[in-house]
Amino acid sequence: MQLSICTISFRHHLVSLENIAEWARCHDFQGIELWGVHARGLETQPQYDAKWIKDMGLSISMLSDYLPIVGDARDAEEKCQHICRLANYWETSKVRTFAGHQASQLVDVKQRKTMTHRLHKICCYAADLGLDVLVETHPGTLADTPNSIIQLLEEVNHPALKLNFDTLHVWEAGEDPVAFHRRVAHCIGHYHLKNVRSRDQLNVFSPDNVYSPAGCRYGMVPLLEGAMDYHRFLPEVLKNDHATASLEWFGNDVKQTLLGDKAALDSVQRHIRMHS
């Protein structure tokens, strides 16, 4: 498995991409998941590009943003073109997005048809540029429950549509991540890995809390120390050498936690190989 860190983990830190990349390289990560906000901010710094990141021994594993599938069509088209252009600039083939910002049960049939049609158009545009569109499994979106995720894949019906399999959020929806992973493995383009101390603290990952500098971080825990059982799930992913994943850490002590999680993953992977 190829493992990345996320620049969003450093969203409240005064640190450069060069510093992040140097640290990632020194600690044997393979890639960086670049947040769209950061990608746009780097447009005025042409010294940072795909060649530079490759010379560092890394790659941009995914460009993560939020492509609008509701609202003004022209604004949505311009943002889609901008993000896809940035993905090409960084020579990544993956653009992450959310499937709207409403829970699937709150979206009526007409609204859903409009949203999935917009998502299909985004996939068509991205595919022409050699890109996949990865919809994240996430609460408060059309990809918030297993049934809605399967329905979304069928409705959009485009080969460029893939899943960013956020394991914790699948578990949050009440599904067995191992069982659901086996149902959709052929559609997964990337994984997000994170954990929580207990199920009743899942709201710590709500966007309003995560993006706030004053947000609560209590309940965010290292990968193998939380309520979701990654010991069951990880063998499903780690046996695939071509899988790509990001450690999505939003809490404090970023570098120390990422190093601890990477060491834990390496240990699990060694165990799997010894017993395979």
**Residue numbers annotated as active site:** 138
Tokens of 75: 């604004």
- 226 HSE (CA, 13 A, CB side): 24
β-bridge pairing 2-6 and 244-247: parallel
Residues contacting residue 116 through CB under 8 Å, at least 6 positions apart: 69, 142, 152, 155, 156
| Contact of 91 with 59, CB cutoff 8 Å | yes
Number of neighbouring beta carbons within 10 Å of residue 120: 18
Number of neighbouring beta carbons within 10 Å of residue 221: 18
Tokens of 32: 């960086």
